[in-house]
Structure 1
Amino acid sequence: MIKNKYLRYIPLAQPLAALFGTQRTRELFKVNPTILPQREEAKDVKIYVFDYDANIVNEIKLEHINDCSGFKNNGHITWINIDGLRKSDVENVCTQFGIHQLLIEDILSIGQRPKMDDVEGVLFCLLNMLYFNDATKTVETEQISIALGNDFVISFQEDSSRDVFDLLRSKLKLSASKIRQRGADYLCYTMLDMIVDNYFVVMEKLGEEIELLEEEVIRRSNTRSLARINQLRKELIVLKRNIAPVRELVNGFIRSESDLLEDRTTKYFKDVYDHIVQAYDFTENYRDMMMSMQDIYINNVNLRMNEVMKVMAIVTCLMAPATVIGGIFGMNFEAIPLLHNKWGFYISVAGMLFIPLIMLYIFRKRGWY
């Protein structure tokens, strides 16, 4: 507390403390899979339903979770999107649509690794949507769970204020869109595809930050540059942690033999797999860039240190003749040459100045500075 009290009087102390602080590190590694975390109940829950086929589409906002049961086996494709998680609501809707208890636990989990399961006729996948916060320059995550059943898709989101499905909603309103002509498996593919495509948007913004930092490190390396390198490396950890397991998730859909997936839809999941592999390669490239940038920073610091040491060495060498001459003529002997000469002082001073000039000429000729 005392430290924070006086830090606010030091210029730039707070920004540097924020950059070098361990709070972000604790956020990244705070999840312990052996301990069941307690999820905070959402205060605001929004339930939106798209009920459609090739001819009609109904967009409905439900006021109560029990109203979802009316869309089960109604002959249409139904997408139920629940924004904001409450345990009672999740258990209610999962019971209505025959979703297993194990999947309910995954939906309510926190910090779960992206995964895909096939449990009792329901294909389930869990992964994170990624967002880039322009204010804090950090990558934010939001867990989303998707359950694919017979003619229905149910998605559970943590945040009721944002997602990446605006384009999907627009396409569902178009009678000529391919989504309207296909089944629930194609709807599930489209959702995964949009989540993965948004990864590239986040990586593009993070790449811009890396490019700006690279220019700063090359131009002038300072403590703030090192702090920024440290911060961006942590954000790359977030990217890699969330992108790498999605390869296995999508591959699970490709290898699945579930009757819920049509054969013609498999090729679309292969396209998503190609995208996620490419995204993973980008994260590896960014990681290599950050490692190279750290090496550049260290080299620049060492180069500046060498320059300082070289200047100090040259100054020391130039002062050496004056030190030697002054030491000789400062000795307490009577038989010192030029001691009683009226020009002795001027000759010694001239030697102190002339010899360093000769040394400078020699240093310059040899390219030492």
Structure 2
Amino acid sequence: MKLNEIEQRLHTLWQEKRSPRIGAPPTDIEKPIDAAETCVTTRIFDEASCVVHDGIVPHEQGKTRWIEITGLSDSDGIARILRSLGLSDLSIAEVFQTDQRPKSLITDTDVLTFLRIPTKRLPFRSQQLALFLGDGFVLTLRETADGCFDPIHARLSAGKGRIRSGAGYLTYALVDAVLDLWFPLIEAYGDRMEELELIILEQSTEDAVKELHLLKRDMLGIRRAIWPLRDALSGFLKDGTPHVEVWMHPYFRDCVDHAFQALDMVEVYREVAQGLIDLHLSTLSNKMNEVMKLLAIISTIFIPMTFITGLYGMNFDRASPWNLPELGWRFGYEYALGLMLGSAGIMVFVFYRLGWLTRRRPPPDDLP
């Protein structure tokens, strides 16, 4: 990832943050600025058939309705549908607040659940899913139509298994489909971290480290979306939850296990990201140590040469036999140069024998 792409990504994240209106009534509906066009589809099914209708249609005796709404642009029309199904004004206002924490609101007659659906691999993006389970119907409300429920559509059309057994099992199937979307996303982050590990080991560029910090930030966002799922899904396991029969509890318990598994993967990759950051710092430290070591070797080699040069640079009287007799020799200059080169060669040989001038090679693979 290039530096300008990273800056654009940070700018996008900053733009996505919105602050709610201060002092507004809790029942006010605040439609998102970039709300997609609203589309309503109703599927009426029983064990024998499944019929798809555009828009909302009345309930039929002995059958189950799945009202699928995508897009929040028609806030008034959506609010009318939700009120007709018995949802309170406060809950309707929460549906349009697309930054809801995953949770379940259970009453005596219905269950309203908020979940997060990942919509993009890298970088991480998600949308809110509001799932309303009532008497003989299931309503799902998403910000955009991204095809995440296409497998459920196919299963309903085929009619295989228990998918047509009722609203409670359909709710489980929808929740399970949402959870399955998180695993490819988390694995994509793991693959990208492996690529960044190789980049850091080879060259340790600043762009790779910045991208690594962004990946770690995304993992934090994924953790915030998955962590509350445990409490949100645990409500379906309680006795007396409306429209959830006892035989469905193992299925919802399996969803809770999947949520724990995804959360464990997130924690592992967060630790991997921190480890890669430490690896980058360690690599920089090792490179700095190599540079300092090379400079120290060069300085050490020149120390005796500087000493010899300074020694023969002392201007003593040559009349005394004890005052640098080499200054009067015919080959005194060559003698001094040879002495300096010899001392430097001895030191280079000693450093080589100590392994300071060569990189240590790893042991052969056949050694124990």
Bin for the TM-score computed over the shorter chain:
0.7 to 0.9
Separation in 1 of the partners of 2:231 and 2:20? Answer: 20
Please tell me whether the aligned partners of residues 108 and 242 of structure 2 are also in contact (alpha carbons under 8 angstroms): no
For 1:330, the equivalent position in structure 2 comes to 313
> Are residue 54 (structure 1) and residue 39 (structure 2) matched?
no
> Are residue 211 (structure 1) and residue 194 (structure 2) matched?
yes
1:98 CA drift (Å): 0.8
Aligned-partner SS, 1:71: coil
Aligned-partner SS, 1:189: helix
**Which segment is superposed worse, 269-278 or 325-334?**
325-334
Aligned-partner SS, 1:188: helix
Larger radius of gyration: 2
The runs of 5 or more residues in structure 2 that have no matched partner are 25-29, 358-368
Given candidates 96, 104, 108, the residue that maps to 2:92 is 104
1:31 CA drift (Å): 5.7
Task: Please give the per-residue CA displacement for 1:74-122, whole angstroms capped at 9, x wherever unaligned.
Answer: 4310101111013212211011111111210111003111111014522
For 1:177, the equivalent position in structure 2 comes to 161
Q: Which amino acid in structure 2 is aligned with residue 348 of structure 1?
A: A
Q: Which amino acid in structure 2 is aligned with residue 54 of structure 1?
A: E
Q: Which amino acid in structure 1 is aligned with residue 136 of structure 2?
A: D
Separation in 2 of the partners of 1:243 and 1:280? Answer: 6
> Are residue 282 (structure 1) and residue 275 (structure 2) matched?
no
Q: Which amino acid in structure 1 is aligned with residue 248 of structure 2?
A: T
Please tell me whether the aligned partners of residues 36 and 144 of structure 2 are also in contact (alpha carbons under 8 angstroms): no
> Are residue 77 (structure 1) and residue 42 (structure 2) matched?
no
1:340 CA drift (Å): 2.3
Q: Which amino acid in structure 1 is aligned with residue 153 of structure 2?
A: R
1:17 CA drift (Å): 4.3
What are the residue-to-residue correspondences of 1:1-369 with 2, within 5 Å? Answer: 15-19=2-6, 22-23=10-11, 26=14, 30=17, 35=22, 39-40=32-33, 42-62=35-55, 68=56, 70-72=57-59, 74-85=61-72, 86-119=74-107, 121-133=109-121, 137-160=122-145, 162-180=146-164, 182-255=165-238, 257-335=240-318, 336-337=323-324, 338-369=326-357
Separation in 2 of the partners of 1:24 and 1:305? Answer: 36
Separation in 1 of the partners of 2:235 and 2:126? Answer: 22
Aligned-partner SS, 2:118: strand
**Which segment is superposed worse, 336-345 or 272-281?**
336-345
Please tell me whether the aligned partners of residues 131 and 202 of structure 1 are also in contact (alpha carbons under 8 angstroms): no
Task: Please give the per-residue CA displacement for 1:290-329, whole angstroms capped at 9, x wherever unaligned.
Answer: 1111111111111111111111110111111222222222
Q: Which amino acid in structure 2 is aligned with residue 365 of structure 1?
A: R
1:363 CA drift (Å): 1.7
Cα RMSD of the aligned pairs, angstroms, is: 2.2
Separation in 2 of the partners of 1:148 and 1:327? Answer: 93
**TM-score when scaled to structure 2?**
0.87
Q: Which amino acid in structure 1 is aligned with residue 262 of structure 2?
A: A
Please tell me whether the aligned partners of residues 25 and 234 of structure 1 are also in contact (alpha carbons under 8 angstroms): no
Separation in 2 of the partners of 1:158 and 1:218? Answer: 41
Aligned-partner SS, 2:100: coil
Aligned-partner SS, 1:339: helix
Please tell me whether the aligned partners of residues 31 and 75 of structure 2 are also in contact (alpha carbons under 8 angstroms): no
Aligned-partner SS, 1:130: strand
Please tell me whether the aligned partners of residues 49 and 60 of structure 1 are also in contact (alpha carbons under 8 angstroms): yes
Please tell me whether the aligned partners of residues 116 and 125 of structure 1 are also in contact (alpha carbons under 8 angstroms): yes
Q: How many residues align?
A: 344
Task: Please give the per-residue CA displacement for 1:210-262, whole angstroms capped at 9, x wherever unaligned.
Answer: 12112222233221221121121111112111111111111121125223111
Separation in 1 of the partners of 2:301 and 2:34? Answer: 74
Separation in 2 of the partners of 1:366 and 1:41? Answer: 67
Separation in 2 of the partners of 1:175 and 1:31? Answer: 43
Separation in 2 of the partners of 1:285 and 1:31? Answer: 31
Aligned-partner SS, 2:160: coil
**Which segment is superposed worse, 229-238 or 254-263?**
254-263
**Which segment is superposed worse, 322-331 or 291-300?**
322-331
Separation in 2 of the partners of 1:24 and 1:289? Answer: 25
Separation in 2 of the partners of 1:359 and 1:33? Answer: 72
1:73 CA drift (Å): 5.3
1:25 CA drift (Å): 5.8
Please tell me whether the aligned partners of residues 20 and 227 of structure 1 are also in contact (alpha carbons under 8 angstroms): no
Please tell me whether the aligned partners of residues 185 and 262 of structure 1 are also in contact (alpha carbons under 8 angstroms): yes
1:38 CA drift (Å): 5.4
Aligned-partner SS, 2:243: coil
Aligned-partner SS, 1:141: strand
Separation in 2 of the partners of 1:245 and 1:213? Answer: 30
Please tell me whether the aligned partners of residues 73 and 151 of structure 1 are also in contact (alpha carbons under 8 angstroms): no
Please tell me whether the aligned partners of residues 31 and 111 of structure 1 are also in contact (alpha carbons under 8 angstroms): no
Identity across the alignment (%): 26
For 1:9, the equivalent position in structure 2 comes to none
Q: Which amino acid in structure 2 is aligned with residue 147 of structure 1?
A: F
Aligned-partner SS, 2:117: strand
Please tell me whether the aligned partners of residues 235 and 241 of structure 2 are also in contact (alpha carbons under 8 angstroms): no
The runs of 5 or more residues in structure 1 that have no matched partner are 1-11, 63-67
Separation in 1 of the partners of 2:293 and 2:227? Answer: 48
